Structure 1
Amino acid sequence: MLKVGIVGGTGYTGVELLRILSQHPEVSIHAITSRNEAGLPVADLFPSLRGRVLLAFSDPATASLDKCDVVFFATPNGIAMHQARSLLEGGVRIIDLAADFRIKDIAVWEKWYGMTHACPDLVAEAVYGLPEINREKIKHARLIANPGCYPTAVQLGFFPLIEAGIVDLDHLVADAKSGVSGAGRKAEVHTLFSEATDNFKAYGVPGHRHLPEIRQGLSQVAGKPIGLTFVPHLTPMIRGIHATLYAQLTAGADLQALYETRYADEPFVDVLPPGAHPETRSVRGSNLCRIAIHRPQGGDTAVILSVTDNLVKGAAGQAVQNMNLMFGLPETLAIDQVPLLP
């Protein structure tokens, strides 16, 4: 049994990790930390976990995380980088669900996240945890940078086109929408019910923190810098990412066959039949990314629709997928749930 620790177990990502890991047959949850809730039984804060998680939250300063095989950081940006080195030196593997290790260019990271990086040498070592592109590297990693929710949906949608070399790489467009849980569990005015419901808006148009992450991933696949316009939107739903992706074709290809072939062996990427329009509720509570391919009026614009659950494939589910790969377990173990409907 793997001994697992979770740092920051009180947010939406943390409780999603607990939901998944509590059902994992090869996992024993050893510690769940929270400064504010130390001593409180987990099930008192999250009644959905009653009978499933019997632990209480522990203070990060006293939690025996060094006794774990793997520690998940479900914390705000800037936390994991201060604790990673000592855990790694003690033989503990780390999966960071925040952004501390995602961006390889330290100057770019510091610009977008507004802080000095505490361990730039570990950034160079960290493996970007998108299994569909880095599966073999993940298997041998001791430090995983779990991808962001928007970047997961956008990159999976664009990869086949870029790998095939059939699109204009200078003018890619990602128009993406997220449910309010993507903003986290902290109290903020814009996510209050009266503010977010019955409303729809774009945000971060001049620049969003996920932009350099997406550009980095797509550029690595392309073998050259790419041009991307990324516009996120907040939608009045709890879970879900819907990315509508646009690319100008530079060569002819059977796009449907291209995607079906690329993702034929991927357990969590579902390429839908021609003409389909995936819905966010079709992946709710699951680790799936569902993709549909369109070429409106047979023109030279490819329109790719990509949907995920931002808390599962966009966060906790993908983190567990990475853990399974790191420890030689079946990749789909504990994360092959059927989506919830309605």
Structure 2
Amino acid sequence: MTDLITALRDLPLVDHHVHGATGHDLSRTAFEELITESDRPVPSWMTQFDSQLGHAILRHCAPLLGLEPHTAPEAYLARRARLGADEVNRRLLGASGVGHYLVETGYRPGEILGPSGMAEVTGAPVDEVVRLEAVAEQVAATGVDAAGYAGRFTETLAERTRTARAVKTVLAYRHGLDADPEPPAAAEVTEAAGRWLAGGGARLDDPVLLRHAVWAGIERGLPLQIHTGLGDPDLDLRRSDPLLLRGLIERAEPSGVPLLLLHCYPYQRQAGYLAHAYPNVYFDVGLGLHYSGAACAALVAESLEVAPFAKLLFSSDAWGPAELHFLGAELWRRAMARVLGGFVAEGEWSAAQAARVAAMVGADNARRVYGLGAP
């Protein structure tokens, strides 16, 4: 067990799906609103620190800011404010042990550090993941007409992904994963583009154009990340079950493009089945780690049930407070040590097997899928 813990501590993780950290100071209200997936104001009679994530921050992040574990939220936030965002980011991101970040840049990019900012504060390599829906909205803003939309999208996507490692879709948010899995015909795309552009072309939620973006991403040939499971109330959780993607998975299989199911909670077992059944499917448990806090070993254990270990990746999906970036890594290491260490203690696995699987999930699988090479 000691050797496994050491191996996990020394492993430079690849965070294959993450967003930037906040580069400015946060009020208590702002901080609490960023440690929940709810998009509603925090009620006056409660605090988000009374949650698995809140307790994890006070347990694991407080010592990195020079406080005792389990300190009071007021003391934690006061210390955070005195240190300032730059120092907090330096300490927490530096302690995460992440050796490579794949940063998705499509969500409120003006409020967080971009790839270059993350590289500067961490000293780690950073590559970009391009959100397909953001590309469509960029195209709409150019004043393109309906007839020229599809061609302009293809051109813009090629340019935006020239140095990117992957593309991503938020189809689950904009429509639901139960969308028609077939690529739309050219005439359908033009007709849908006309409707969307006439309405202002702001938020892409037209199901035809969403399908077009997904298939354009597949044709681009880069790994395709797909949001599934947990998210804010803008998403209908019932329609974010990855099992709804079976049609798309089977139609995309001949392309050889890896499909990476993100987050997955509470559908991690469904995602594990899909990774088991289809060679082009991979998955992670993402932000389920920090939101489940001290209970996250159960989530990690379920992710290791039926999926081949070469199909499971690590991500934090952190956005905003650097606490989320650090905890994604810290809680994953602790959970893997507990789960794999249990297998070793019971004589089911050897210590060498446990260390190898930890390295596969934490870094090696991502390096293979995204072509990152050796660290």
Give the TM-score normalised by structure 1: 0.32
Task: Report the structure, 1 or 2, having the larger strand content.
Answer: 1
Give the TM-score normalised by structure 2: 0.30
Structure of greater relative contact order (alpha carbons < 8 Å, 6+ residues apart): 2
Task: Report the structure, 1 or 2, having the larger helix content.
Answer: 2
